[in-house]
């Protein structure tokens, strides 16, 4: 029972080691990923995972919660301070359950809601039809303009016409400042609740590197991973503006989370959220977030200098979207697979007005949070941008077959071919060399 995992479960241990190797020797550029601190890992791998604590602090269903209460209250106090909000619930299991709780708190089934269309950069839980939020509610999506910016004129027109109960501002693939103030003006005009989903940018908001939604939105949701740099989890916050609109809003949110949608909170996650929030309050975190944006801009510049087309021509946050349409449609999958072969991880993504489909989109999305955590700066971004462009040039002539049934075999053959590509192998070697200079967990064995 008390034995080390390396002895009790060599199979899982071997996988842990391989995953650490992979993370160590690759450039993690999926913008929603990051590397947490040793302290966050320690809180997550702690005895708090043994506890059941349905309910809220001082109002639990089970005994033995005196220390869970303290750690949850600590996380709540820190969240309120960091995000400048009146109320925080730190129990949501992740970002999607946090958003579901918002619906549960302020909507009835079939109520009208508005969010950015998923292929335009919105999130599934903002009313996309594949998500239950698009099936249980009357979802009216808004869009980005051809130039990649939110189409606020369309938002206003649709809001006036459909009078939504709830509007979402907050995105998954959007490289410019989120328009909290302008969305609030529209939401206030039609009497809608405005929920800001800052999952991607919460670290930037906490450190003041991105404008805060706190004065504008009624509700703010976030994941606690991504730029937050904590464990996988979620937080729902109610602003003073939210309480002014509806004094019962904080209660409604708490009731929606428990008992509305969840049972016992993940106390080990709560402890790790508290730790991550303390890290966010340190001056180093602001420097970190400023560097994320500097790196993102340097990366966009390097990509454009190498002939790549960057959506909106740059970035205000941690993310860069590259359109591959100048090479043809649906090229995202080839770029993603070839970059993976070079140990550069990112994801295929739709771009504004994508001529292909969300499953085979025409762009790639990349971000700088993880590389910045490792200590990389503008100089490295310039190199990485060139490597990415070089890999993309190797795949530009591959075409998706028109017949959907042929796509599987074609991609299989493509992957075999790309494995032998000399240029890509060369870039992989350079990537590994760079990664060795920026160790993930210097001087600390995370498997112990």
Ligand X SMILES: *Cc1c(COP(=O)(O)O)cnc(C)c1O
Q: Which residues make up the interface to ligand X (CB under 6 A)?
A: 32, 94-96, 99, 123, 125, 170-172, 197, 199-200, 223
Q: Kindly give, in sequence order, each residue whose CB lies less than 8 Å from that of residue 284, ignoring residues fewer than 6 positions away.
A: none
268 in Cβ contact with 45 (< 8 Å): yes
Nearest residue to 184 via CA among 210, 159, 205: 159
Shortest approach of ligand X to residue 127 CB, angstroms? 12
Output b/e per residue, 424-444; b: 16+ Cβ within 10 A.
beebbeebeebbeeeebbeee
Residues labelled catalytic: 52, 54, 197, 223, 226, 232
Distance CA 419, CA 116 (A): 38
What gap in Å lies between CA 234 and CA 97, rounded to an integer? 8
Nearer to ligand X, 171 or 180 (CB): 171
CA distances from 122 to 85, 171, 186 (A): 24, 5, 18
- Cβ at position 196, least distance to ligand X in Å: 10
Q: Report the residue number, 172 or 214, with the smaller CB distance to ligand X.
A: 172
CB of 123 or CB of 374, closer to ligand X: 123
Closest CA to 358 of 75, 34, 25, 130: 130
Separation CA 174–CA 115 (nearest Å): 13
Q: 96 or 343, CB closer to ligand X? A: 96
Q: Tell which residue, 188, 106, 114, 119, has the closest CA to residue 148.
A: 119
CB closer to ligand X out of 202 and 336: 202
The least distance separating ligand X from the CB of residue 279, rounded to whole angstroms, comes to 19
Cis peptide before 259 (omega within 30 of 0): yes
The helix (run of H) or strand (run of E) holding residue 333 is helix 332-341
- In Å, what is the CA distance from 380 to each residue of 112, 372, 439? 46, 10, 14
Nearer to ligand X, 73 or 124 (CB): 124
Structure tokens at 317: 């946050």
Closest Cα to residue 364, out of 337, 381, 352, 346?
346
For the bound state, the minimum distance from the C-beta of residue 265 to ligand X, rounded and expressed in Å, comes to: 15
Closest approach, Cβ 42 to ligand X, in A, equals 22
Q: What residue is closest to ligand X based on CB?
A: 95
Of 170 and 265, nearer to ligand X (C-beta) is: 170
Shortest reach from residue 103's CB to ligand X, in Å? 13
Residue 431 C-beta: closest distance to ligand X, Å: 26
């Amino acid at each position: 029972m008390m034995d080390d995992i390396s002895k009790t479960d060599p199979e899982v241990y071997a996988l842990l080691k391989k995953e650490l190797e992979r993370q160590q020797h690759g450039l993690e550029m999926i913008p929603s990923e990051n590397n947490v601190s040793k302290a966050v890992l320690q809180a997550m791998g702690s005895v708090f995972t043994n506890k059941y604590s349905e309910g809220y602090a001082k109002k639990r269903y089970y005994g033995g919660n005196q220390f869970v209460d303290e750690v949850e209250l600590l996380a709540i106090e820190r969240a309120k301070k960091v995000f400048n909000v009146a109320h925080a619930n730190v129990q949501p299991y992740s970002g999607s359950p946090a958003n579901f709780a918002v619906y549960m708190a302020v909507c009835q089934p079939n109520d009208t809601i508005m969010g950015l269309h998923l292929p335009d950069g919105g999130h599934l839980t903002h009313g996309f039809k594949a998500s239950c939020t698009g099936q249980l509610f009357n979802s009216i999506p808004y869009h980005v303009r051809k130039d990649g910016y939110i189409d606020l004129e369309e938002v206003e027109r649709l809001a006036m016409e459909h009078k939504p109960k709830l509007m979402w501002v907050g995105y998954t693939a959007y490289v410019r400042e989120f328009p909290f103030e302008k969305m609030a003006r529209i939401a206030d005009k039609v009497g809608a609740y405005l929920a800001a989903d800052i999952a991607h940018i919460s670290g930037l908001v906490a450190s003041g590197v991105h404008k805060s939604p706190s004065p504008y939105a009624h509700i703010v949701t976030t994941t606690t991973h991504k730029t937050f740099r904590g464990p996988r989890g979620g937080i729902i916050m109610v602003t003073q503006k939210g309480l002014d609109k509806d004094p019962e809003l904080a209660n409604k949110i708490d009731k929606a989370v428990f008992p509305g949608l969840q049972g016992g909170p993940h106390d080990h996650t709560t402890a790790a959220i508290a730790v991550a929030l303390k890290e966010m309050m340190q001056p180093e975190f602001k420097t970190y977030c400023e560097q994320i944006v500097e790196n993102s801009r340097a990366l966009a510049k390097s990509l454009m200098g190498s002939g790549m087309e960057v959506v909106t021509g740059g970035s205000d946050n941690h993310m860069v979207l590259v359109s591959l349409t100048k090479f043809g449609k649906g090229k995202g999958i080839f770029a993603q697979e070839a970059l993976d072969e070079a140990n550069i991880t990112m994801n295929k993504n739709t771009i504004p007005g994508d001529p292909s489909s969300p499953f085979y989109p025409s762009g790639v999305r990349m971000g700088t949070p993880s590389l910045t955590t490792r200590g990389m700066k503008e100089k490295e971004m310039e190199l990485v941008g060139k490597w990415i462009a070089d890999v993309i040039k190797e795949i530009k002539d591959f075409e998706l077959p028109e017949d959907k049934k042929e796509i599987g075999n074609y991609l299989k053959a493509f992957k075999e071919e790309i494995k032998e590509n000399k240029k890509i192998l060369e870039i992989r070697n350079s990537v590994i060399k760079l990664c060795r200079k920026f160790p993930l967990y210097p001087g600390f064995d995370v498997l112990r």
